[in-house]
């Protein structure tokens, strides 16, 4: 494990550099629990390599991969052990950092009267740095590491089970049995009575929007006309080919989170981070279709009967408060925390939209249908999911993945639906309009980032301190960078 030593090179006095280095050196990986190699290297290496591949490649390759059940079970044990030890390591680290923080705060209190301005400032900087490091370690232990391993295990399951599942799907198609699946009447999209009463949700949606604005949880809208009208017309195109029976209301928000969410009654919110993350039109159409499906499936209505809007917003604010202390942002994604917005998508997915596994799977199925019906390549959804889960999911795309149904189930469920859809020529993957939107978006992003820099942040309340240290872990790095596997041959503490 490498820890950034940024704190040592920021013009700090030797003493402070020493103090920060002390923080760094505390994190010593344990060599003690190194277990025996459970898999011969000639199996382990290709299996590990396979687990790094995107889902859509594994769907193609799974039947050609020859790993037996014992090997897969052994690999699963390796993943589980590594997840456990890695999580434990970062939990201990969180506790250590929090202990150091309390000690620094105690010493500040006892010495406060004697400190001159420079000394006081230095202490504030040390405290700020410890807070940021502690929050990062906590986010890694509680979110990033578990999600990354869920993803690895899902791929292992895919290698194990997909070849048989594929044969079953082919048999269903051959016999025509797939027409009997729930919502298998895809030629009647828009005319079938999916879930009656969508129009009764409009009022709830409006009220939710109003309350979110009141609570200060709604980031500003993007003003760029090209971006706005592109996203709106794409969403409308998908909506026209869906089961939506209420007017569509699209808002593009200027926030860094990679997310989109729907409120009951036809309100779709797309965040800037999502537009930055999608690689082509079919991916964006897939995400929009998924959100539309939450509206047509009336999922918000079903969940809002259990929780009031106010209680959801209260939770959003609480989560935002935790994140504002530096947890998420200091991993390297400086979100537009000033709005306290990062937590909102998370909570909306959890409590309004995504908490139910059943709803999420429904939205995946219907979303794939809508994207396809609107003429887009439905694989775009899987590819975007892939990109998020493989490269960034466990850090940046948190709200998409936390407590959603298991990855394996979602991927297979979506893939199965795609296979069941009638063949269609000329499905669109990309368009010149998408490229134009991306160009304009760069300007929007550059401006927003500049403004974020100029705005005082809760993350760095002490002006003139060195930027808080970062745990050296870039989003996009495989999780093994953070958590070397026991018996992997490499030293755990590089």
Residues in touch with Zn ion (CB under 5 A):
354, 363
- Cβ proximity to Zn ion, 354 vs 484, nearer residue: 354
Q: CB of residue 142 vs Zn ion: minimum separation in angstroms?
A: 22
Name the token pair of 258.
């990679």
- Region of 326 (left: φ > 0; alpha: ψ -120 to 50; beta: rest) is left
Which residues have CB under 8 Å from 179's CB, separation 6+? 185
In the bound complex, which residue of the shown chain has the CB atom lying closest to Zn ion? 363
Q: CB of residue 349 vs Zn ion: minimum separation in angstroms?
A: 6
- Cβ proximity to Zn ion, 366 vs 459, nearer residue: 366
- Cβ proximity to Zn ion, 239 vs 363, nearer residue: 363
- Cβ proximity to Zn ion, 303 vs 363, nearer residue: 363
- Cβ proximity to Zn ion, 363 vs 366, nearer residue: 363
- The 10 Å CB-count burial string (b at 16+, else e) for 327-364 is bbbbbbbebbbbbbbbbbbbbbbbbbbbbeeebbbbbb
- Cβ proximity to Zn ion, 7 vs 354, nearer residue: 354
Q: CB of residue 4 vs Zn ion: minimum separation in angstroms?
A: 35
- Cβ proximity to Zn ion, 86 vs 194, nearer residue: 194
Contact between 254 and 452 (Cβ < 8 Å): no
Contact between 315 and 231 (Cβ < 8 Å): no
- Cβ proximity to Zn ion, 340 vs 354, nearer residue: 354
Dihedral, CA atoms, 160, 161, 167, 169, nearest 10 degrees? -150
- Cβ proximity to Zn ion, 162 vs 385, nearer residue: 385
CA 190 – CA 487 distance, rounded (Å)? 56
CA 266 – CA 263 distance, rounded (Å)? 7
Strand-pair partners of 477: 475
Q: CB of residue 285 vs Zn ion: minimum separation in angstroms?
A: 15
- Cβ proximity to Zn ion, 397 vs 468, nearer residue: 397
CB atoms within 10 A of CB 322: 15
Q: Are strands 260-263 and 267-271 parallel, antiparallel or unpaired?
A: antiparallel
CA 221 – CA 254 distance, rounded (Å)? 5
Q: CB of residue 134 vs Zn ion: minimum separation in angstroms?
A: 31
CA 193 – CA 195 distance, rounded (Å)? 6
Strand-pair partners of 250: 268
Give the side-chain half-sphere CA count within 13 A for 54: 15
CA 467 – CA 480 distance, rounded (Å)? 27
- Cβ proximity to Zn ion, 154 vs 471, nearer residue: 154
Q: CB of residue 290 vs Zn ion: minimum separation in angstroms?
A: 6
Q: CB of residue 398 vs Zn ion: minimum separation in angstroms?
A: 14
CB atoms within 10 A of CB 15: 9
* Best CA proximity match to 54, nearest among 391, 386, 279, 384: 386
Q: CB of residue 240 vs Zn ion: minimum separation in angstroms?
A: 21
Q: CB of residue 360 vs Zn ion: minimum separation in angstroms?
A: 5
Q: CB of residue 51 vs Zn ion: minimum separation in angstroms?
A: 25
* Best CA proximity match to 438, nearest among 283, 334, 329, 291: 283
Q: CB of residue 306 vs Zn ion: minimum separation in angstroms?
A: 17
CB atoms within 10 A of CB 396: 24
């Amino acid at each position: 494990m490498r820890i950034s030593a940024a704190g040592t090179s920021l013009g700090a006095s030797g003493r402070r550099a020493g103090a920060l280095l002390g923080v760094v050196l505390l994190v010593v990986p344990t060599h003690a629990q190194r277990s025996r190699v459970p898999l011969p290297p000639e199996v382990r290496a290709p299996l590990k390599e396979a687990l790094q591949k995107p889902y859509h490649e594994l769907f193609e390759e799974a039947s050609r991969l020859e790993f037996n059940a014992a090997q897969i079970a052994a690999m699963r044990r390796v993943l589980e052990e590594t997840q456990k030890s890695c999580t434990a390591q970062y939990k201990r680290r969180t506790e250590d950092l929090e202990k150091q923080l309390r000690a620094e705060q105690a010493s500040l209190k006892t010495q406060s009267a004697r400190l001159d301005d420079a000394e006081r400032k230095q202490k504030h900087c040390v405290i700020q740095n410890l807070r940021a490091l502690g929050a990062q370690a906590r986010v890694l232990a509680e979110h990033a590491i578990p999600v990354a391993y869920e993803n690895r295990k899902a791929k292992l399951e895919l290698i194990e089970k997909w070849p048989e599942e594929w044969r079953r799907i082919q048999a269903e198609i051959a016999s025509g049995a797939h027409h009997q699946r729930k919502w298998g009447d895809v030629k009647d999209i828009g005319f079938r009575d999916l879930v009656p009463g969508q129009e009764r949700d409009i009022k709830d949606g409006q009220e939710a929007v109003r309350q979110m604005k009141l609570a200060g949880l709604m980031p500003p809208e993007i003003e760029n006309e090209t971006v706005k009208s592109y996203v709106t017309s794409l969403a409308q195109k998908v909506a026209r080919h869906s089961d939506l029976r209420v007017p569509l209301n699209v808002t593009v928000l200027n926030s860094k989170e990679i997310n989109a969410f729907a409120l009951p009654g036809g309100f779709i919110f797309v965040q800037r981070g999502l537009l930055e993350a999608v690689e082509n039109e079919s991916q964006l159409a897939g995400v929009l279709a998924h959100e539309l499906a939450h509206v047509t499936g009336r999922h918000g209505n079903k969940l809002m009967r259990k929780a009031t809007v106010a209680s959801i917003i209260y939770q959003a604010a609480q989560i935002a408060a935790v994140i504002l202390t530096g947890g998420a942002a200091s991993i390297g994604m400086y979100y537009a925390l000033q709005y306290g917005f990062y937590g909102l998508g998370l909570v909306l997915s959890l409590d309004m939209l995504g908490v139910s596994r059943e709803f999420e799977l429904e939205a995946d199925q219907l979303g794939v249908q809508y994207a396809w019906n609107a003429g887009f390549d439905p694989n775009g959804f899987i590819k975007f999911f892939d990109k998020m889960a493989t490269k960034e999911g466990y850090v940046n795309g948190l709200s998409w993945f936390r407590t959603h149904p298991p990855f394996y189930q979602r991927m297979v469920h979506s893939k199965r639906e795609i296979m069941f859809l009638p063949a269609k020529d000329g499905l669109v993957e990309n368009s010149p309009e998408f490229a134009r939107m991306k160009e304009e978006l760069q300007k929007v992003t550059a401006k927003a980032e500049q403004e974020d820099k100029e705005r005082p942040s809760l993350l760095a309340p002490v002006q003139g301190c060195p930027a808080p240290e970062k745990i050296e872990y870039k989003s996009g790095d495989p999780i093994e960078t953070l958590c070397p596997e026991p018996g992997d041959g490499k030293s755990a503490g590089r």
